[in-house]
Amino acid sequence: MIVYGVTGWKNAGKTGLMERLVAEFTARGVSVSTLKHAHHAFDVDQPGKDTHRHRTAGARQVMAVSGARWALMTELREAPEPTLAELLARLDPVDLALVEGWKRDRHPKIEAWRAVNRHPLIADTDDTIRAVASDAPLELNGRPRFDLDDTIAIADFITQDSGL
């Protein structure tokens, strides 16, 4: 399984780029899974639902299953957050795992960058960033720059760079 990331500061266009890349790679016949890191607490469950009631009663894991999908929720309950490698090991095999976030991990990444945010480029200090997708011209010291909306060119670059 090839792991490739999309990283950047908040509101840089990461999620939109991830969404477009999933659609593009899937259209090319590539099997894709995604991982998204959140820096805040989140809940995929809803209060009052049976699965939520199971979790709040103390269950470590709750699985919801239907004819259309299944989901496994795991409560950390004071345990440390799993590493990216541990989470990747739990995925079913696919051709490509696209990872949003995990800025400090050492997998290859595309940085999403928007001029309006005025954040420094992460690529300036991170050699795992192979290219930048931005909405403005940038000086990147030899790294490729793609228009943030040029999904096909970005997907082509990831394919070439990763050997996919």
Between strands 129-134 and 145-147, the pairing is parallel
Enumerate the β-bridge partners of residue 132: 111, 145
- Report pLDDT digits (tens) over 8-61: 999 999 999 999 999 999 999 999 999 998 766 667 778 888 888 898 888 888
Which amino acid does the sequence have at 56? T
Q: Average of pLDDT values for 125-145? A: 94
- Report pLDDT digits (tens) over 99-129: 998 888 999 999 999 999 999 999 999 999 9
User: How much is the pLDDT for 3?
Assistant: 98
User: How much is the pLDDT for 42?
Assistant: 66
Q: How far apart are CA 108 and CA 160, in angstroms?
A: 12
SS3 72: strand
Q: What is the token pair recorded at 47? A: 């209060």
Whether 97 contacts 34, CB under 8 Å: yes
Say if residue 150's pLDDT is above 90: yes
Q: How far apart are CA 164 and CA 161, in angstroms?
A: 8
Say if residue 93's pLDDT is above 90: yes
Topology (CATH level 3) of domain 2-41+80-162 = Rossmann fold (3.40.50)
User: How much is the pLDDT for 148?
Assistant: 97
Domain ranges of the chain: 2-41+80-162
Confidence at 67, pLDDT banded by 50, 70, 90: very high
pTM of the predicted model, to two decimals? 0.89
Q: Which residues have C-beta within 8 Å of that of residue 112, sequence separation ≥ 6?
A: 6, 7, 8, 12, 13, 14, 17, 132, 133, 134, 148
Confidence at 130, pLDDT banded by 50, 70, 90: very high
